[in-house]
Amino acid sequence: MIQIFSARSVAEGGIVRRKVGDVERMIGRDRFLREVRRRGFRVAENAGQFIVFCNQDPVRLWE
């Protein structure tokens, strides 16, 4: 958890991407999602990846 949220892009309000399987194996999905919410970030899941938007801006998905 420390490794994920200590990335420079987190501090700069960017994004981080991690494999769902790695998160589930090392941290657990529930614990990870609780930490994302605690920080006020947003997260999306697609194609086996978690994409965490490390800011509180709205997220728009275009199709």
The per-type count for the chain, helices as H runs and strands as E runs, is 4, 3
In a domain, 13, yes or no: yes
Beta bridge pairs of residue 19: 49
Per-residue pLDDT, 19: 97
54 burial level (CB within 10 Å; 0-12, 13-18, 19+): buried
Residue type, 39: R
Range of the domain at 49: 2-53
Specify if 20 maps to a domain: yes
Instruction: Give domain status of residue 62, yes or no.
Output: no
Number of domains into which the chain is organized: 1
pLDDT of residue 6: 84
How much is the pLDDT for 20? Answer: 98
Residue 8's pLDDT is: 87
**Other C-beta atoms within 10 Å of 16: how many?**
18
The tens digit of pLDDT for each residue in 13-52 reads 999 999 999 999 999 999 999 999 999 999 999 999 999 9
pLDDT for position 3: 81
Its sign, for the CA torsion 60, 40, 21, 12, is positive
